[in-house]
Structures are given as C-alpha cells and as structure tokens.
Amino acid sequence: MLNNKLLKLFLLIISSLHFAQQKKISLSAFPDNKVMVVAHRGDWREAPENSVWAVKKAIEKGVDMAEIDLAMTKDSVLILMHDNTIDRTTTGKGKPSDFTLAEIKKLHLRDGLGVETQMSVPTLQEILEISDGKILLNLDKGFEYIKQVYPLVKKRNMLDQILFKGHESYSEFNQKYGDIKNEIHYMPIIQLGKEEDLKKISEYLKSYKVYGFEFTIGTTEKNLIDFKKLRETKVKIWVNSLWPHHNAGNNDDLVLDHPNIYDWYIDKGVNIIQTDRPKELIHYLKSKKLYF
C-alpha cells in the first residue's frame, strides 16, 4: 500500500514538473483568461537590469515574460542596454556604438544602487540561449533592429516566444516589415489622450492580427477607454504598473501597503502587466486564480 502511495506521489511530482517546464513558452498558447506577468528589464531588484541574472531570477520566480532592451555595438552585435549611453549601468562611459563587443565585455555592470558588480553586459544571443523554453521575451527599444533580430530568433525556432513592440502606425509598420509581419508577434504602443494614437487602434484591427496593445494611460483616468470592449476583438491589453503616469496612479510601489492595488487592472480588463515587483504581483494573481 505504501509503495503504491509513493508511486502515485512520484508520478504527480513528475507530471507537475513537466507542466511547469511546458506552460510558459508560447505566446500563441497563453490563455486569454489569465494575466501575463512581465518583469521590467528582467528582475532588476535581484540582479543588474538587462543582465543574464536578471532574466534567470525572473525565470526562478515563475515570471511569464522578461522585458529587455537592445542596443548595437560598434561591430554590429546586439547587446542588452536601456540607455543611450552605458554610463549609468556599467563601469564605462559613452554610447554602445562607440565600443566593440570585446571592449564592452571588459566592463562590469552596476546594480540598482550604482555599485559595480562582476557581471558583464550580455549579448542578445546569450539571453536567447538561457530563455529558450523557459520564459517569453519582449524586445523593447529594439524594434529598429528587427531585421537583425529576426534571423537570430527564427534560427532558434523562437518566434512564438518573442514579442516586438513599436510606435509605428500600421502603414509605417507594413512598409518597413511587411515581408515578415505574419511571422512575428507585434504589439503597438498607444498613448491615451493622443488622437493620432487612437486612430492606430482601428487601423491595426482592420489590417493586421496584433498580439495586443500596450497602453500608457496618464496620471488619471481622464483618457481611459473601455479595455473590456477591446478584448472582445481577441487582443490582449498591456498596461505597465511601473510608475503613476502609466496607470492612473495605480503603480507597483503601492502594493507594499495596499496588497489589492492590482484589483484595478483586473477590473479594467488588463491581462498583461509589466511590473517592477514580480513577486508581489504573482502572489496576488495566485490568490485570484489568475496566474498561469
């Protein structure tokens, strides 16, 4: 009897591990009735932003997607870097394009307090290797490099793990990337309150199957639109919980004193949240049975 119980427990553990490994590796298979957790610049509270370990820590926490930023070196290698210069986040000074990859690799990343670490700036290739089959990626500040990114991702069969974003109108997007638009997942960024941005929504819905829309709301709900109505068109709704101007003041830091601050996102119909506090957001979503 004991052996049978142990066998059942063993099979249950193996099944759970298999499910954990399989559940978070596809944009197209992510359920619409769950909320996707996106870690901003990786899990930067645990490791330097846009570093290998920032992505690894996001994977450890069970984050669905890591948002990363791209730049290009002098010798045309894609690396992770948010700013226009390397001054804030590394021990060097200058633009990424001022350095070859070999020169960039001699520098060290700084942590969130500006303290030097022993970690180096990763290439996109390195991040693809550690992410494949484990976490989705959003390539922010990288859409201008899509022609360089696309072959790398396609070669690794990771197109269903990568989300591109951009500010282009549909006509601009189609003109630049029409030859590959049906092979990638793309999300337009919409700033509410801008009439030209609101027009982009109908243009895309009429002409192209977007993965969803990212919305910047402002500090109040003055310009808020009906996200639930928009979701009826089978697109996902992305709102950042990072800073007050993204989300009508319902930002991440409030969760420390108000654990239910994320109720606002669920009530509005948001189903992708980019956060600086993935641990707290995942805990909240689990309590609401909205975590995948």
pLDDT band at 9 (very low <50, low <70, confident <90, very high): low
Q: How far is CA 279 from CA 44, 82, 259, in A?
A: 12, 23, 12
Q: Which range marks the domain in which residue 245 is found?
A: 24-287
Q: Has residue 37 got a pLDDT over 70?
A: yes
Please indicate, yes or no, if residue 184 is contained in any of the structural domains: yes
Please indicate, yes or no, if residue 18 is contained in any of the structural domains: no
Q: Has residue 26 got a pLDDT over 60?
A: yes
Specify the pLDDT at position 20. 46
Specify the pLDDT at position 15. 47
Q: What is the mean pLDDT of the chain?
A: 93
In the numeric block, which tokens belong to residue 80? 């992770």
Q: CA nearest 143: which of 171, 176, 121?
A: 176
Dist CA 161 CA 133 (whole Å): 8
At 134-175, the pLDDT tens digits run: 999 999 877 789 889 999 999 999 999 999 999 999 999 999
Please indicate, yes or no, if residue 9 is contained in any of the structural domains: no
Contacts (Cβ under 8 Å, ≥6 apart) of 113: none
Q: How far is CA 91 from CA 45, 46, 77, 259, 287, in A?
A: 19, 19, 19, 37, 42
Residue with tokens 């282009």: 168
Please indicate, yes or no, if residue 162 is contained in any of the structural domains: yes
Q: How far is CA 15 from CA 8, 12, 131, in A?
A: 10, 5, 22
Please indicate, yes or no, if residue 1 is contained in any of the structural domains: no
Residue 162: enclosing H or E segment and its boundaries? strand 162-166
At 190-249, the pLDDT tens digits run: 999 999 999 999 999 999 999 999 999 999 999 999 999 999 999 999 999 999 999 999
**Three-state secondary-structure class, residue 123:** strand
* Cα angle 185-189-194, degrees, rounded to a multiple of 5: 150
Please indicate, yes or no, if residue 12 is contained in any of the structural domains: no
CATH code, 181: 3.20.20.190
Please indicate, yes or no, if residue 252 is contained in any of the structural domains: yes
Contacts (Cβ under 8 Å, ≥6 apart) of 183: 150, 154, 159
Q: How many domains does the chain have?
A: 1
Please indicate, yes or no, if residue 110 is contained in any of the structural domains: yes
Positive or negative, the Cα torsion across 160, 20, 252, 86? negative
The neighbouring-strand residues paired with 215 are 190, 239
Assess contact for 34 and 271: CB atoms under 8 A.
Answer: yes
At 95-123, the pLDDT tens digits run: 999 999 999 999 999 999 999 999 999 99
Specify the pLDDT at position 19. 44
